[in-house]
Amino acid sequence: MKKTELTRLLEKSGKRYTELLEINADTGNDTELFKWFLAAVLFGAPITETSVIKTYKTFKKHHVLTPQKIIETGWDKLVKILDEGSYTRYDYKTADKLLLVTGNLIKNYDGSLNRLHQQASDPADLENRLKQLGKGIGDITVSILLRELRGIWTKADPKPTPLIIAAAKDLGIIKNDDPQKALNALKTYWKKHAVKGKSFINFETALLRYGREQRRKNNAETETSD
């Protein structure tokens, strides 16, 4: 992949989700980190980026952006917010999930994601602690969450998702499907070909969006083929 092609890809598809949602996660502030946690949970479902962004903005409109407000809002109102944001297909399941994981975050870490990170012994333990918050917080959600926290949390070093790996292979950047080997290869590639003003997070995000676009095209071709 030529440097000019990489630059175009980053300009087109590399904008960070925290930036897009106006979440100041780089501050490391618990309030901002929980906003991103909420968004990451929403992004974790197989739903369009547009719907997730609309749904997060609906939570923002109703001022439901803290652990306490999630619990206070309750299941019925959470479902209404999710439906208003066009998250209808996963509304019940996501309301259950939000109440469960937020309740456990409050119970086990006083509602502080920073405390969860501090108590983790290493990157693997950090990912396990996040998953232990409740059913529905799996590898994809954890990877989404931690990808944007590289450089903010010292133990945030998630492996790339299958879509990122598929995108990088399609572009000829890596050859290996193993997530750890793929991560190492992506870091090596970025170190050699880094684009000024962009970060490894921008690179991963651009690959993710490219992967989603390729999947959409492939699905459309399958649906229209004889």
The domain locations on the chain are 3-15+160-224, 17-147
On whether the pTM is more than 0.85, the answer is: yes
pLDDT for residue 225: 35
User: CATH: 1.20.120.350, 1.10.340.30, 1.10.620.20, 2.40.30.10. Which one for 17-147?
Assistant: 1.10.340.30
Alpha-carbon dihedral of residues 123, 125, 130, 135, nearest 10 degrees?
130
Chunk the chain into consecutive blocks of 10 residues (it has 226) and report each block's average pLDDT, rounded to whole numbers: 92 96 96 98 92 96 98 97 93 96 98 98 97 93 96 96 95 94 97 96 96 85 45
pLDDT for residue 221: 60
